[in-house]
Amino acid sequence: MTELLRPHAEQEFADELAAIARIDDRQRPTTWKLSPWAVVLYVMGGTLPDGTVIMPKYVGSTRLVETAVATLATDRALLLLGVPGTAKSWLSEHLSAAISGTSTQLVQGTAGTPEEAVRYGWNYARLLAEGPSLNALVPSPVMVAMESGTIARIEELTRMPSDVQDALITILSEKSLPIPELNSEVQALRGFNVIATANDRDRGVNDLSSALRRRFNTVVLPVPATAAEEIQIVVRRVAELGRSLDLPPADGAEAEIRRVVTIFRELRRGVTEDGKTSLKTPSGTLSTAEAISVVTSGLALASHFGDGVLRAGDVAAGIVGSVVKDPVADASVWQEYLETVVRERGDWKDFYRAARDESR
């Protein structure tokens, strides 16, 4: 069978979900596959009584995840808010997989997302032939979730036009979706809810109306609090991506991963790790997701064009590309960091030479 490049969470972790379900004897909300306690166990990881190890899906505050799960057990929708790379989509997918058994009822928000993506559309061939009918109606992922009592996911909510966002107000407040063409409506079954994600950096693009914002409980996902936490996230995700892409294991790559994370954290915060040197910050976010991409690309270079060992030269190009988004302003920020910080670190000479060559 052809291997999937990127399995859905419920496919990749089907064995874990089944193992948790077998020992989960706690009360479950209607239509939920697992109890709220078991959903948190699946997300945060742990060891079951039979010895089954549940891999952590999110590295961060357990209380934050408990708050998100508790919200979904009520009639309030959940908004995951944070800067890029804080695992909003990742957490949304795993919550949906654990609660509903599927993470595919997804609306991807963009500037061109139509209202039909949230409500419903029409099969125009059947509409012309038969007129408005249930057979001609094409349900949106949100409508499917309402009819099945499951979770719908809406990615990048603030990227969607305001009139499309407002189509959610009736759905979230009345738990129904009117279909005036059929003089009918769809009423949500118990268990239905919505997880939306939004980017802190997109405030003001299509900011949520106060009416819509009131329908959500907002959980803010922070950037990793410590370098050790961020390194742990990068190591785990790089290993997962490496397996799916047939890249060499990241064993022995901890030094380069630590260096990538250190650079990203210092430039993101505007100060060196020891707090002694203030730095200019580039225009990009330098998120954990970008650090994962830099290391994964470096492993691909090492695998296909090197000796399979991740070295400074393999990650230098990716770091320069992540930092220098604006060829004028960011280039000067990077050069200053390279000369005042990297050059002075005795054990970073190899990276300094590689990054200087990439910057030319």
Residue 79 sits in the same domain as residue 175: yes
| Domain presence at residue 3 | no
Q: Return all residues near 38 (Cβ < 8 A) that are at least 6 apart.
A: 20, 21, 24, 26, 98
Q: Look at residue 3 in the predicted model and tell me its pLDDT.
A: 78
- CA–CA dist 159, 99 (Å, integer): 26
Q: How far is CA 274 from the centre of its chain?
A: 30
> Phi then psi for 273, rounded to 5 degrees?
-60, -35
Helix, strand or coil for residue 207? coil
CB-based contacts of 49-55 (< 8 A; 24+ apart in sequence): 49/23, 50/19, 50/23, 52/16, 52/19, 54/16, 54/19, 54/20, 55/13, 55/16, 55/236
Residue 198 sits in the same domain as residue 128: yes
| Domain presence at residue 338 | yes
205: nearest Cα among 296, 272, 113, 274? 113
| Domain presence at residue 20 | yes
Give whole-number Cα distances, 177 to 43, 64, 186, in Å.
31, 31, 5
Helix, strand or coil for residue 338? helix
| Domain presence at residue 195 | yes
Residue 115 sits in the same domain as residue 153: yes
| Block residue for tokens 């038969």 | 130
Residue 275 sits in the same domain as residue 199: no
Q: Are 153 and 103 in contact (CB under 8 A)?
A: yes
Q: Can you spell out the DSSP letters for 232-295?
A: HHHHHHHHHHHHHTTPPP-TT-HHHHHHHHHHHHHHHHTB-TTS--B----SS---HHHHHHHH
Residue 39 sits in the same domain as residue 112: yes
Range of the domain at 131: 9-220
| Domain presence at residue 322 | yes
| Domain presence at residue 318 | yes
Query: What is the CATH classification number for the domain harbouring 105?
Result: 3.40.50.300
Residue 268 sits in the same domain as residue 318: yes
169 membership: H or E segment, kind and range:
helix 167-174
What residues are paired with 54 via a beta bridge?
46
Q: How many domains does the chain have?
A: 2
In SS3 terms, 61-114 reads as CHHHHHHHHHHHCCCCEEEEEECCCCCHHHHHHHHHHHHHCCCCCEEECCCCCC
Residue 232 sits in the same domain as residue 118: no
Q: Look at residue 123 in the predicted model and tell me its pLDDT.
A: 93
Residue 51 sits in the same domain as residue 121: yes
**Residue 310 one-letter amino acid:** L
| Domain presence at residue 73 | yes
Q: Look at residue 46 in the predicted model and tell me its pLDDT.
A: 95
Residue 126 sits in the same domain as residue 183: yes
Q: What is the mean pLDDT of each run of 10 residues along the chain (360 residues)?
A: 80 96 95 97 96 93 96 95 89 98 96 94 92 93 97 94 92 95 95 93 72 93 90 88 78 87 94 91 88 92 88 92 90 93 92 86
Sign of CA dihedral 22, 23, 25, 30: negative
Residue 132 sits in the same domain as residue 249: no
Q: Are 94 and 57 in contact (CB under 8 A)?
A: yes
Q: What is this structure's pTM?
A: 0.89
Q: Return all residues near 160 (Cβ < 8 A) that are at least 6 apart.
A: 109, 110, 111, 113, 154, 206
Which domain-ending residue is among 199, 220, 241?
220
Q: Compute how many other C-beta atoms are within 10 angstroms of the C-beta atom of residue 119.
A: 20
